[in-house]
Amino acid sequence: MTASQIATLFDVPGRLVTLEPLGSGNVNDTYRVILRTTFNEEQYVLQRINHHVFPDPPAVMANMKAVTDHAHQKILAEADDADRIWQLPRVIPTCGGEDYVKDSDGNYWRALSMIASTTSYENIETPELAVEAGIVLGHFQRIISDFPIDQLADTLPGFHITPGYLANYDETLKQDSAQALLESSSEARRLSKFVEERRDLCRILEDAKERGELTERPIHGDPKITNIMIDNLSGKGTCIIDLDTVKPGLVHYDFGDAVRSSCNPAGEETSDLSKVYLDLDLFESLVKGYLKEAGGFLTNADRKYLYDSIRLITFELGLRFFADYLAGDVYFKTTYDGQNLNRARVQFALCESIETREGKMREVLENLG
């Protein structure tokens, strides 16, 4: 079924006027839906869940419902003391009261409330925005921190388990088609060398988890900068969106992902590697914002691994993009040939920049922590 046909099935008043692609997600398909009545206009977000990535979309929706219900209550309870109006999307039911539609082609669709008058940035350039990105992530982690993880399904097994991505990369390399891509590109061979030199890094967080040093909590899973909504009027962060990957994990996966996506002013789609670096001012600002909210629940052991999580998650995303390029672009959506190779080049360049700045980054974390 088409998106326009699906768009009329949710419990939103008005006649469908239009539907347009929204955002830059690499996994799901997202649309802005506009409906009108004589007196009013309604907008909502329609998404087709990528069921090749998320094997159990009903479980994704159950997590999303449970977590947003919990978070909405928390936000309301704290509203009087908050310095802003915090928002979080609401799952809009179908006319029949369900949380999603499964169409005749086997696709799953959902509707979410639109966070109005906000902007989602592809990359950020000012310290003020970096502070806000940190506050938004810390706030979200804090308000869901008491949600019992045994009530959260694992919607994406293996997500952010770096040794698993390395094993997947090794498997991919066994394919003739992957070998052919490597042989035909010196840049791909350079990246494969980059991976070889960092094999030992992959286990750092999982080993700490196995030793009991780090423990799982509810996490967002995908707090990249485009998922953080900034209020157009106040300039403050107001919301984090894209809640598919809320599940048990290490808060480090989130922290690392927020830093790698917010503190590289060139963004993750640039093709100019000379502009890719970890900006220390943005980093310091993000950490300041994050600790305002997260300072209360981070343990000393958590703090010890913050730097490593940034290096690791940046490397991991590069590895995921690179493996996907070698596998023939089966996971991340692409709009041009070689896009996943290019995305991997960017993340690996950022990883190198993070390694160069290790001393300064650790200093920032210690001074602020």
Per CB under 5 A, 284 contacts Mg ion: no
Per CB under 5 A, 316 contacts Mg ion: no
Nearer to ligand GN1, 220 or 236 (CB): 220
Q: Of the ranges 71-79, 84-92, 235-243, 249-257, which one interacts with Mg ion (CB under 5 A)? A: 235-243
CB of 366 to Mg ion, least distance (A): 32
Per CB under 5 A, 222 contacts Mg ion: yes
**Cβ(303)–Cβ(287) below 8 Å:** no
What distance in Å separates the CA atoms of residue 51 and residue 27, rounded to the nearest whole number? 10
Cβ count near 367 (within 10 Å): 9
Chosen residue from 139, 198, 224, 252 binding ligand GN1 by CB under 6 A? 224
CB of 343 to ligand GN1, least distance (A): 8
**Cβ(117)–Cβ(233) below 8 Å:** yes
Chosen residue from 25, 57, 237, 267 binding ligand GN1 by CB under 6 A? 25
CB of 180 to ligand GN1, least distance (A): 26
Chosen residue from 3, 63, 74, 222 binding ligand GN1 by CB under 6 A? 222
Nearest to 205 by CA among 349, 302, 348: 302
Nearest to 222 by CA among 140, 281, 145: 140
From residue 102 to residue 141, what is the string marking binding to Mg ion with x (rule CB under 5 A)?
----------------------------------------
Chosen residue from 286, 317, 349, 351 binding ligand GN1 by CB under 6 A? 317
Nearest to 71 by CA among 83, 81, 86, 57: 86
Q: Of the ranges 114-122, 202-210, 242-250, 251-259, which one interacts with Mg ion (CB under 5 A)? A: 242-250
Q: Of the ranges 21-29, 33-41, 125-133, 273-281, which one interacts with ligand GN1 (CB under 6 A)? A: 21-29
99 binds, among ligand GN1, Mg ion, none (CB under 5 to 8 A by kind): none
**Cβ(91)–Cβ(6) below 8 Å:** no
Longest dimension (CA), the chain: 63
Secondary element (H or E) of residue 286? helix 280-294
**Any residues with CB less than 8 A from the CB of 281 and at least 6 apart, and which?**
127, 130
Nearer to ligand GN1, 257 or 293 (CB): 257
- Which amino acid does the sequence have at 55? P
Per CB under 6 A, 242 contacts ligand GN1: yes
What distance in Å separates the CA atoms of residue 277 and residue 258, rounded to the nearest whole number? 15
Chosen residue from 99, 132, 231, 242 binding Mg ion by CB under 5 A? 242
* Helix segments in 79-203, DSSP class H: 127-144, 162-173, 176-184, 186-196
Per CB under 6 A, 53 contacts ligand GN1: yes
- Which amino acid does the sequence have at 103? D
Per CB under 6 A, 26 contacts ligand GN1: yes
Residue 92 β-bridge partners: 111
What distance in Å separates the CA atoms of residue 355 and residue 76, rounded to the nearest whole number? 41
The binding site for ligand GN1 (CB under 6 A) comprises 25-27, 53, 222, 224, 242, 245, 257, 268, 317
